[in-house]
Amino acid sequence: MKRKRHFRPDWTETAPAPGTVRSVVKYGAPNAYKHPSDGWVAMMMQEFGMDEGDFSRKIEEGNIEVVLDRPVELKDEHIRQISAVVGEENVSSDAYSRVRYSCGKTTEELMELRKGIIREVADIVVHPRGKHDVARIVEYCDREKIPVYVYAAGSSVNFGVRPAKGGITLVLSTHMNRLLEINELNQTARVQPGMFGPAYEEALNNAPEHSGTARRYTCGHFPQSFEYSTVGGWVVTLGSGQASTYYGDACDLVISQEYVTPAGTFRTLDYPATATGPKVNDIMKGAEGTFGILVEVTMKVYRYLPGNRKYFSFMFPTWTAAVDASREIMQGEFGLPAVYRISDPEETDRGLKLYGIPSFVDRHLIRKGFVPMERCLCLGTVEGDAGYTALVKKRIKKVCRDYGAMYLTGYASKKWEKTRYTEPYMREDLQDVGIQIDTLETGVTWDNLHKVHQCVREYIKSRPATMCMTHASHFYPQGTNLYFIFLMRTSDVDEFREFQRGIIDEIACHKGSLSHHHGVGRMMAPLMDEHLGKEQMEVLRALKRHFDPNNIMNPGGQLGLDLSEDQKKRVRT
């Protein structure tokens, strides 16, 4: 037993070789890995009935060169014209670029890539130098009816960057990645869409040094993909950061936007509020590249006050108690926490094991009535003015205790915070041994939370040897999200896809939102008509026809705007 507990698979440590499928598949920095802990390995051995041999045989690692047998279909004249706009050095049509910038990080994509299966790719990859390049390209492509796709950080998990109709992919993160201006009076930042989260946050945190501001600022938006996501991506996909309960979702942070569309270029006006008809600034959010291309965005920023941050964590006796306390906190009118998360019993217990809770602590918890597969962990932070963070933490403690929770200090939250962006790295190791870890998520009102949680969980658990860990991590007075993490051992893409589709169907049929913050992409697209209803989808299609009459902007399924009835029925990819 002892030997087994300390068994450490020979995880890959090296950066993928340039030009390989693996280098397309791998999340994040080429050299960065996060291996499953001993606890993880032990858990997987037990759950999936795997032995050391299973963890030693690497499968489908993708250490093969990217090979593409599809010619560039775009006419030479088009390539010449586009090269004339951006410069030849900013256009590529080699196989590797075409594949790399056509892929996101959806589990099925990665499974298929590892098997050498390559789906639709762009004909050429273009790196515009600025918004004027984008405007000229869109104008040209509209005239010539060439499909235009956008790629920024490539962490999409719903086939949002897949160039379903070929054409060109614009990479916005290569050149269009700068902070243009901090307006300290208005507390706003004007940003190019391809700026990565860490660069943006660093520029704001160090604004006095970089930009000569009086104060330091924070963007307030920290999705799990923070390190491999861009400001523009946050806005066009309606993302949420881990501190959204206080700072708001990406859509709440946007003051104004500039778009290039086939119907023209425009910039919405900078107002804190206005009553001049339906707000075009809102209409554009979440269009996922189907109306046009976001080329600049003015975002709210916030004072950066890390010294005031308070951490907390609690153990609740049950999921019901955790949910009820959370609702009381969100409706309590005493201010809101920044990060706030509750884990369901399976996530809580797996978490406790994985992160090595000392057994004497566990025994103490059990003695106090916090028993395995009932107890639920809550963790979070409060940000803002010092008096505010002290008050909100105090009131949260009071509410949690009223609902039977035990205060566990801020230790777990601090630990979580340190590693919060690294979880996605584990996927490489797991896929190397034939294990898939994936997530699906939904927005729910309080009165529907338990039903969605229960039904989706039941569905996932109906598959033998499948783990399901669920948390709620973005809170509002009217409800929250549910984030389902599932793990299964399979290398069969069809089986995985069918199972995943079943989970989505469970979410949809129990009236959860099709997505709380991952967006629609092409994954949820076939379900959009049924989800929103014909009348609402026709509103989106009317906007699409207005902005993009030739359907060149991210065509081929995105948002479900241009799917045939037949395509809606087919299994998506």
Contact flag: residue 554 with its own copies (CB under 8 A): no
Bridge-based pairing of strands 168-171 and 148-151 is: parallel
Residues 432-471 within binding reach of its own copies (CB under 8 A): 443-447
Distance CA 233, CA 132 (A): 19
The residue among 285 and 375 lying less far from its own copies, judged by its C-beta, is 285
**Smallest distance from its own copies to CB 330, Å:** 9
The residue among 159 and 425 lying less far from its own copies, judged by its C-beta, is 159
**Smallest distance from its own copies to CB 151, Å:** 19
The residue among 102 and 245 lying less far from its own copies, judged by its C-beta, is 245
To 10 degrees, what angle do helices 345-354 and 38-48 make?
130
The residue among 92 and 158 lying less far from its own copies, judged by its C-beta, is 158
Contact 153, 196 (CB under 8 A): yes
The residue among 31 and 536 lying less far from its own copies, judged by its C-beta, is 536
- Diameter over CA atoms, the chain: 75
Looking at residue 307, the DSSP 8-state letter turns out to be G
Distance CA 260, CA 229 (A): 21
Contact flag: residue 413 with its own copies (CB under 8 A): no
Tokens 């160090």 appear where?
A: 206
SS3 state at 384: coil
Distance CA 508, CA 456 (A): 10
DSSP E strand boundaries for 304-371: 310-316, 340-343
Spatial CB neighbours of 84, under 8 Å, sequence gap ≥ 6: none
**Smallest distance from its own copies to CB 550, Å:** 15
Contact flag: residue 480 with its own copies (CB under 8 A): yes
Contact 207, 190 (CB under 8 A): no
Site for its own copies (CB under 8 A): which residue of 112, 347, 383, 432? Answer: 383
The residue among 370 and 547 lying less far from its own copies, judged by its C-beta, is 547
The residue among 296 and 349 lying less far from its own copies, judged by its C-beta, is 296
Bridge-based pairing of strands 124-126 and 168-171 is: parallel
The residue among 455 and 543 lying less far from its own copies, judged by its C-beta, is 543
The residue among 159 and 291 lying less far from its own copies, judged by its C-beta, is 291
Contact flag: residue 126 with its own copies (CB under 8 A): no
Residues 161-200 within binding reach of its own copies (CB under 8 A): 183, 185-188
Distance CA 311, CA 306 (A): 11
Give 5: exposed, middle or buried? Use CB within 10 Å, 0-12, 13-18, 19+: exposed
Residues 207-246 within binding reach of its own copies (CB under 8 A): 237-240
**Smallest distance from its own copies to CB 328, Å:** 11
Contact 433, 58 (CB under 8 A): yes
Contact flag: residue 275 with its own copies (CB under 8 A): yes
* Closest by Cα among 421, 502, 435 to 29: 421
CA torsion 328-441-383-355 (nearest 10°) is 100
Among the residue ranges 122-130, 224-232, 327-335, 345-353, the one whose residues contact its own copies (CB under 8 A): 327-335
* Closest by Cα among 225, 259, 251, 60 to 157: 225
Contact flag: residue 337 with its own copies (CB under 8 A): no
Site for its own copies (CB under 8 A): which residue of 307, 358, 387, 464? Answer: 387
**Smallest distance from its own copies to CB 217, Å:** 10
Contact flag: residue 331 with its own copies (CB under 8 A): yes
Distance CA 549, CA 328 (A): 48
Site for its own copies (CB under 8 A): which residue of 22, 98, 190, 327? Answer: 327
Return the structure tokens found at 303: 């004072």
* Closest by Cα among 380, 429, 440 to 405: 380
The residue among 112 and 383 lying less far from its own copies, judged by its C-beta, is 383
Contact flag: residue 553 with its own copies (CB under 8 A): no
Contact flag: residue 393 with its own copies (CB under 8 A): no
The residue count for binding its own copies (CB under 8 A) is: 94
Q: Where are the alpha helices (DSSP H) in 491-562?
A: 493-509, 528-532, 534-547
x/- map, 505-534, its own copies, by CB under 8 A? ------x-xxxxxxxx---x---x--xxxx
Contact 220, 248 (CB under 8 A): yes
Contact flag: residue 380 with its own copies (CB under 8 A): no
**Smallest distance from its own copies to CB 534, Å:** 8
Contact flag: residue 52 with its own copies (CB under 8 A): no
Q: Quick one: which H or E segment has residue 92?
A: strand 91-92
The residue among 22 and 516 lying less far from its own copies, judged by its C-beta, is 516
Contact flag: residue 496 with its own copies (CB under 8 A): no
The residue among 40 and 483 lying less far from its own copies, judged by its C-beta, is 483
Site for its own copies (CB under 8 A): which residue of 50, 391, 408, 465? Answer: 391
Contact 153, 230 (CB under 8 A): yes
Contact flag: residue 284 with its own copies (CB under 8 A): yes
Site for its own copies (CB under 8 A): which residue of 479, 526, 555, 557? Answer: 479
Residues 251-270 within binding reach of its own copies (CB under 8 A): 251, 255, 261, 263-266, 268-270
